[in-house]
Structure 1
Amino acid sequence: MEKELKVNGMMCVNCQKHVHDALAAMAGVSSVDVNLEKGTAKVTADRDIPQDEFKKVIEEAGYELA
């Protein structure tokens, strides 16, 4: 499964790393590519992850899933 997420609230490279690390820690996630300029995160996983799981992880990291 590959999914591109729109993440609001990232302002700097530390924000980018925080989002990356939060998503990478999710069960089943094999790779994460966070683009600070576009405000996106591309996630590759070996299972279908529901949108609400992404939302919870992003919000717990202090950001908003658009």
Structure 2
Amino acid sequence: MKKKMMIEGMSCEHCVRHVKEALKEVSGVHSVEVNLGEKSAVVELDQEVSNDQLIAAVDEGGYEAVEIIEL
């Protein structure tokens, strides 16, 4: 399963790395691809992960997840 997250607050490659690391720490996340230009992240999951868990990981990093779409 994949989910695409729209994320506000990213402005540089440091932000991209920070978001990627935060999402990879969530149990069940297999891989993360962050796109600074689109202000998005595509998260590939090994198991069911709630949107709330993904949002919390991004929010704790100082960014704002504004939308999640299942792919």
Q: TM class, shorter-chain normalised?
A: over 0.9
Residue 26 of structure 2 aligns with an amino acid whose one-letter code is M
Deviation at residue 42 of structure 1 after TM alignment = 0.2
Residue 17 of structure 1 aligns with an amino acid whose one-letter code is R
Aligned equivalents of 1:58, 1:31: Cα separation in 2? 15
What per-residue deviation string (whole Å, max 9, x for no partner) do you get for residues 18-38 of structure 1? 000000111111110000000
Structure 1 residues without counterparts, runs of 5 or longer = none
Counting strand residues as a fraction of each chain, which structure ranks higher?
2
Aligned equivalents of 2:30, 2:54: Cα separation in 1? 14
Report how many residues are paired.
Answer: 66
Aligned equivalents of 1:19, 1:3: Cα separation in 2? 15
2:61 is matched with which residue?
A: 61
Query: Runs of 4 or more off by more than 6 Å in structure 1?
Result: none
Aligned runs of 1:19-30 on 2, under 5 Å? 19-30=19-30
Aligned equivalents of 1:10, 1:48: Cα separation in 2? 26
2:44 is matched with which residue?
A: 44
Cα RMSD for the two superposed structures: 0.6
Aligned equivalents of 1:30, 1:51: Cα separation in 2? 15
2:3 is matched with which residue?
A: 3
